[in-house]
Amino acid sequence: MSTAEPAPVDSPNPTPARYVVPQALRDVELIDMLEICGSATRAAAVLHLSQPTVSRRYQSIARDLDLSRRSSKDPGLRFGDGPYLRLLRQALNKHRWQAGLLRVGCRRGLETALAALPQLQAVELSHHPPVNWWELVKHQLLDGLVLDDTAAPAGFDGPAGDPAWGPCPSAVAVVLALPHRRPLRLLCRRHAPILSVAERLQNTGPWVGSGVGRFAGRALR
C-alpha cells in the first residue's frame, strides 16, 4: 500500500499519490487483503495493523454480512462471498480507479520496485501457487498482474478462454520498463476503467511504454 501523505477521506478527486480508502469501505479492503494475502498475519502487515485487530474486525464484518470462512473454496472466496460484499467491493474498486490507482499482484521482490509508482498498489503473491493468481483477478480482488517480460511463472495459466476477461479471450498487456530492470508487463482485466489507468501508466513517471499487446496462454508474447 502507498505510504504517501494521505488525502482527506472525503476528497472528491483523490490522486494516486494521495489515495486513501474511504472510511466506509475500509472493512471491504480488509477482507480483500485477507483473500489476497491468505492470512491475518500477512494482511496485517500490508494494512499496517496488528494481527489481532485484523482478526477482530473480520469476525465483526463476517457477522454483519453473514460471511463464513471456507478454506475449500476457490482463492478469492475463502473469507466469504455474497451479494452485499460484491456490491461493496465494486464501490471500492470504482473509487480506486477514479483516483487513477490499480491494485496488482506480483512475485516476491517486484513489489519493492513497484512501490515507487503511485499508480500501482502492488501486493506480492508468493504464498499463492501461480495457478491461482488469475482467480484473484477473476473475482475482482486484483485489477491485474505485473510479470517479468520473459515468461510467465511455472504453473501460471493465463486468461485464454476465460469469459471474465471480456469478449476477447486474452487480456490486455501493457509493456513497461523501469531503469536498470528488464521489461515488465502489466496484464489487465479487460474493463474500461482499468485499461484507462493502465494506458496512462505508459506515459507517466519513470515508466517507458513500448506498446500494448496481448497475453494468452502460459507465455508472454
Q: Higher pLDDT residue, 181 or 92? A: 92
Residue 213 DSSP SS3:
strand
Residue 71, all three cell numbers? 478454506
CATH 3.30.420.40 fits 16-220, yes or no: no
- Give backbone dihedrals phi and psi of 73, rounded to 5 degrees, phi first: -75, 165
- pLDDT single digits (tens) 80-111: 999 999 999 999 999 999 999 999 999 888 88
- pLDDT single digits (tens) 24-74: 999 999 999 999 999 999 999 999 999 999 999 999 999 999 999 998 888
* DSSP code of residue 98: H
Q: Higher pLDDT residue, 165 or 177? A: 177
Beta bridge mates, 124:
106
